[in-house]
Amino acid sequence: MANLTLIREFLLLGFGSIHGLQFLLFGTFLGIYVMTLLGNILILTVTASDRSLQTPMYFFLSNFSFLEIWYTTSIAPKMLKTLLSGPEAISFAGCVTQFYFFGSMAVVECFLLAAMSYDRYLAICSPLRYPSLMNFHTCICLAGVSWLGGFLTPVVTVTMTFQLQFCASNEIDHFFCDLAPVLKLACSDPEEVEKTTFLMASFVTMVPFLLTVASYINIVSAVLRVPSATGKRRAFSTCSSHLIVVTLYYGTLGTVYAIPTATQAAALNKVFSLLYTVITPMVNPIVYSLRNKDVKNAVQRLLSEWKHGTKT
């Protein structure tokens, strides 16, 4: 008890020793990160500049792209650094900050996905009342609540984690400071933190998840009542991109957090974590710009404007 040395710094081990592969992985993930930034910036630019995209649906899409930029930026730079130069030191406060930001963004993402599906639900199931129900004020409120809820939720966990003592090992076997691998290193009992976090995390993911599922059940049953096949396709086309993004996000998140960490190999956990921290933020703009006709047209208009701009 007397010579209990407290830990002030952690070491992020990243992907461990993968000799010879680190440059390949570094290049790949750098490419993915750059594409994520460019893709989401393109969505932000196009939704801000194109008249035909000034609707609630694209307001939420641009807000979502804005979120994805921060979401992946809370993870990617440190991860790239561990790939390039091996285990990376991170202060205790830095580690908790990273967890806080990542946790906040993940919650905002769940809330925004629910808001987006609610928007599609209103548009498809009550088209006549849609313009008055989903007005500018409602949009701002839904997005505002998402961001506020996201930033408030992890505060409890972070406060509790700050009160734990860390004294044994300081090596985090992961590429970012996720809560579970950090709690593994605590010498004081982390059970309270784990229980509270589990309860809060279940609440803030299950509620938006169930709202999203309920919206889609209503959407699908409304679409099935549309008589013609082309009518069905047209009704569903506005939400199919969103449905892909929702499925991908909850699918990967669920895989990591639903399987108990004890039975999960650290390596497998890292691979799945990569999917939802690095891969899904890149997929979102690709899905929207390839599948959504309005976005596709707006991107083409923007590109041709740029071409003309550089010529003159």
Ligand X SMILES: *[C@@H]1O[C@H](CO)[C@@H](O)[C@H](O)[C@H]1NC(C)=O
Contacts with ligand X, residue ranges (CB under 6 A): 62-63, 66, 140, 143-144, 147
CB of 290 to ligand X, least distance (A): 22
CB of 298 to ligand X, least distance (A): 16
CB of 284 to ligand X, least distance (A): 14
Cβ distance to ligand X smaller for residue 62 or 153: 62
Cβ distance to ligand X smaller for residue 64 or 272: 64
CB of 80 to ligand X, least distance (A): 25
Cβ distance to ligand X smaller for residue 10 or 60: 60
294/234 Cα distance (integer angstroms): 13
CB of 147 to ligand X, least distance (A): 5
Task: Say if strands 88-91 and 9-12 run parallel, antiparallel, or are unpaired.
Answer: antiparallel
Cβ distance to ligand X smaller for residue 62 or 72: 62
189/169 Cα distance (integer angstroms): 15
- Answer yes or no: are the C-beta atoms of 126 and 48 closer than 8 Å: no
Question: For the chain, where are the E strands, in sequence order?
Answer: 9-12, 88-91, 171-172
DSSP for 209-274, written as a single string: HHHHHHHHHHHHHHHHH-SSHHHHHHHHHHHHHHHHHHHHHHHHHHHHHHS-GGGS-HHHHHHHHH
Amino acid letter for position 66: F
Residue nearest to ligand X (CB): 143
Cβ distance to ligand X smaller for residue 143 or 158: 143
CB of 40 to ligand X, least distance (A): 10
Cβ distance to ligand X smaller for residue 62 or 157: 62
Q: Is 91 helix (H, G, I), strand (E, B) or coil?
A: strand
Cβ distance to ligand X smaller for residue 59 or 236: 59
118/225 Cα distance (integer angstroms): 19
Residue labelled with tokens 């803030």: 204
Residue in 183, 176, 197 with CA at minimum distance from that of residue 73: 176
Terminal-to-terminal C-alpha distance of the chain: 75
CB of 188 to ligand X, least distance (A): 38
